[in-house]
Structures are given as structure tokens and as C-alpha cells.
Amino acid sequence: MKIFCISILNQNYNQLKNLNLIPVGLGKNQFDHEWLSDKVGENISNKNFNFGEYSFHYNLWKNKNFISNYNEWIGFCSYRRFWTTSMERNINKFEDLEKIILKKPQKNWEKFDVILGDPVIFRKIKNIKLLKRNLFEVLKKPSMLIKDNTLEDQFRVFHGSFFLDTAINLMPSKYKEDFKNYMKGNLFYPYNMFICKNYNILKNFYNEIFPWLFKCEEAFNDKKLIGYSKIRIYGFLAERFMPFWFIKNYKITTCPITFFDERLNKYNYKNGGDGGIRTHGTL
């Protein structure tokens, strides 16, 4: 099993390697030569600010000889979020994380093709947050103030209806209605983290998502992507499309994701700012 650990910080290389992870450095920051990079070969490293971790996914897609012959599980985590065998609250150092880090495929994975993170369940985003972030969207649908919120509600309020509606219109026709229905649900599989059974599954995903994201990029060309909720719009769109696509096309199961940031020296569930997504559980 290969698990790539994606980072924007040139830190903790040895600790990540000791966890059986493959450290990958993204974006404009400089990394020591041991790190894999999104800058080699044909790449979109200069777009990392907008595409997030997908600048590395693009690199794998276009430079296929890196993993194309690998026929085992291939997955992705980040420098603050890790695949673990259980969810623990007392993770204060890498030695604690090592005890629960996922080191090999689980026995119950044999019947599945793709592993997603345990989902966040949308219940109710606080009304003050809904009103503060996008009063116009709330006025268009006042029921979101009294009813449980959906994936669609969250995206429209925190990222904007234009981006969602345009992106759906640019999808292949075979996905449009199913994706709209998916967005009316309340299960959110977070962080763009997934594990595929083999390279062919990963390649099929890349062949679908990148042409769509680049169509979105062309359509958004005249929009000013300002603020956290807009700057990384392609990563946020991918975060919704990715689980939908895997669920539609493959057999999936889930695995715990544990947050650990040595700089904070504490364990918590905080996501770091993606509009309203803060905890594993009720919002």
C-alpha cells in the first residue's frame, strides 16, 4: 500500500516516513530534495493555490510511469489528517499517532474498491453563521434556517451558487441529475482523502475529474477568486465530486481520519476553515 502524505510545509519529513507515508511537497514553497514534488514533469504546481492537493494528482495523472505499474492500494492523506485504525482523542505527538496509523489494508477491504473517510453528518449550521456568510442565499431559501442543512445548502452559502450551478452544467450529462440529488443529502466525505484498490481506478477518476475542473476554470476565468472560500474553489468542487463519483462507480467503505498537528500540540476535530465544516458529527 502506498499512501502519499501531501504537505505545504517543509517539516517532519522523517516522522512522516517513519509512519510509512510518502511525503509530497506542494506549491511555491521550497522542499528538501528527499520530498516528492508537484513540480516535476508536466505539472500545474503554479495553480496549487486554487487547486490544492489536485496539483499533485495532476502530476500523477500526466506522469503515469511513476505509479502506473503499481497494482496495490494507493491513497492520499495530508500533513494534518491521517488514516487511522481508530479515532483517538489523546494524540499529542507522532509517537501517539504511530500507534493508530493505518499501515496496511484492512481485512474488511477485500470486497471494496475505494476507501473514503468516515463522513461528516450535516445537521444544522448555526443560523448566525448562515446569515453572516451569505444573507442573499438564505433569503432565497429561508427553510435552511429551520431545517437540517444539506451539502447543497452549505456550498451555496459558503462558496456561492454561481460556482455550483456552473460546475454542474459543465459536468457530463450522465452525472448531472445524480449529482444534484447527491448534493441534497447530508453525508460529507471530507478533505479530498481517498484510497483506491489499484492504479486503474485512480486513472479512471483522473480521466473524469480533470477535464471537468479545467472546464470550470475556463468558465470562472473572469471571476475574482478572493477569500478562502473562493481561492480554492476547484479543490472544494473536487471535494464534493470525488465521493459522489466513487460511490456511483465503485464499491466503497470508510475508514477513520484523525487530525494531528504537532504545532498545536493537541488533538481536535477542527478543519481549518471550510465554511461550517468543523466537527465529525452534528454541525
52 part of a folded domain: yes
Q: How many domains does the chain have?
A: 1
Residue 11 predicted with pLDDT over 80: yes
Taking residues 185-214, what's their average pLDDT? 97
Q: What is the pLDDT of residues 219-241, one digit of tens each?
A: 999 999 998 889 999 999 999 99
Residue 103 predicted with pLDDT over 50: yes
Residue 270 predicted with pLDDT over 60: no
Q: What is the pLDDT of residue 267?
A: 39
12 part of a folded domain: yes
182 part of a folded domain: yes
277 part of a folded domain: no
Residue 68 predicted with pLDDT over 90: no
Residue 134 predicted with pLDDT over 50: yes
Residue 149 predicted with pLDDT over 60: yes
71 part of a folded domain: yes
Taking residues 50-63, what's their average pLDDT? 94
123 part of a folded domain: yes
Residue 279 predicted with pLDDT over 70: no
Q: What is the pLDDT of residue 271?
A: 38
Residue 283 predicted with pLDDT over 70: no
282 part of a folded domain: no
Residue 274 predicted with pLDDT over 70: no
Contact (CB, 8 A) for 64 and 52: no
Q: What is the pLDDT of residue 265?
A: 58
In terms of residues, how long is the chain? 283
For the chain, state the CA radius of gyration.
18
Taking residues 156-183, what's their average pLDDT? 97
d(CA 253, CA 195): 10
Residue 273 predicted with pLDDT over 50: no
Q: Which residue has the cell 505509479?
A: 67
Provide the residue range defining the domain that includes 184.
2-259
d(CA 73, CA 115): 10
Residue 282 predicted with pLDDT over 50: no
Residue 131 predicted with pLDDT over 90: yes
Q: Residue 90 carries which side chain, given as an amino acid letter?
A: N
Taking residues 69-74, what's their average pLDDT? 88
As given in the structure block, the three cell numbers for residue 83 are 488514516
According to DSSP, the β-strands at 120-121 and 187-188 are antiparallel
**Rounded to two decimals, what is the model's pTM?**
0.90
Give the mean pLDDT of the chain. Answer: 90
d(CA 237, CA 235): 5
